[in-house]
Copies of this chain bind each other. A is one copy, B any other.
Amino acid sequence: MKLPKLAISALILFFLLINGSTSSSGPTRKKYSRRPCKRLVLYFHDIIYNGNNSKNATSAIVGSPPWGTKTILAGKNHFGNVVVFDDPITLDSNLHSPPVGRAQGFYIYDRKDYFTAWLGFSFWFNSTDHKGTLQFIGADPLNKTRDISVVGGTGDFFMARGIATLMTDAYEGDVYFRLRVDIKLYECW
């Protein structure tokens, strides 16, 4: 009866040692999982300059194809239009809610035969909840929902990576649209 006890003690001791060595093994600070380590749902609002709305506009056409102009999106599904934006980010879908930051960057309409876009932008947070930035890039096939990549972050989002699921929440005649952005971070430091 004495020896099995000893073996059991050893077992317990080893277990403690194994766990100890595992939890302190090196400077790893990242966590990986298919479950997000952080999740945020936000909205941003884009009002395209059309020649008359200088005061309210949050974006402007800065590049256009040979057949286009800069005050109206071009034909052929806007193929070739480059739009620079600085859009307010809100917690709900109301354009007039207090912004928690700005979505800044550009999008390009990149296909002739139907609508698709390519996006490069940052979320710049400046609220009591969050300070810092997240960087996004990706193809936007303008399906009901579509995924782009979160490729980096700073501040509260130091070194973050993840996926953002976009949904066009409202679209009003080539002048206003609202995107719902469901941000799921899978790498958090």
User: Chain A residues in contact with chain B, CB under 8 A?
Assistant: 2-4, 6-7, 9-11, 13-15, 17-19, 21-22, 25-35, 49, 51, 57, 60-66, 70-71, 79-82, 84-86, 102, 104-106, 108-112, 116, 118, 120-122, 124, 132-133, 135, 137-139, 141, 147-155, 158-159, 161-163, 186-187, 189
Q: Are A29 and B27 in contact (CB under 8 A)?
A: no
Q: Could you list some 13 contacts between A and B, CB below 8 A?
A: A11-B14, A27-B32, A27-B34, A29-B32, A49-B66, A62-B81, A79-B84, A86-B110, A105-B118, A137-B152, A138-B152, A149-B152, A149-B153
Given known A-B contacts A80-B60, A84-B82, A158 and B163 have beta carbons under 8 A apart: yes
Contact of A65 among B30, B70, B122 (CB under 8 A): B70
Given known A-B contacts A108-B84, A154-B147, A135 and B133 have beta carbons under 8 A apart: no
Q: Are B154 and A151 in contact (CB under 8 A)?
A: no
A3 contacts which chain B residues (CB < 8 A)? Answer: 2-3, 6
A51 contacts which chain B residues (CB < 8 A)? Answer: 66
Q: Are B79 and A86 in contact (CB under 8 A)?
A: yes
Q: Are A154 and B163 in contact (CB under 8 A)?
A: yes
Q: Are B27 and A31 in contact (CB under 8 A)?
A: yes
A112 contacts which chain B residues (CB < 8 A)? Answer: 57, 86
A19 contacts which chain B residues (CB < 8 A)? Answer: 21
CA gap between A147 and B162 in the complex, in Å: 19
A141 contacts which chain B residues (CB < 8 A)? Answer: 124
Given known A-B contacts A3-B6, A153-B149, A111 and B116 have beta carbons under 8 A apart: no
Closest to A124 in B: B139
CA gap between A138 and B15 in the complex, in Å: 46
Q: Which of A64, A86, A187 has the largest number of chain B CB atoms within 10 A?
A: A86
CA gap between A133 and B18 in the complex, in Å: 40
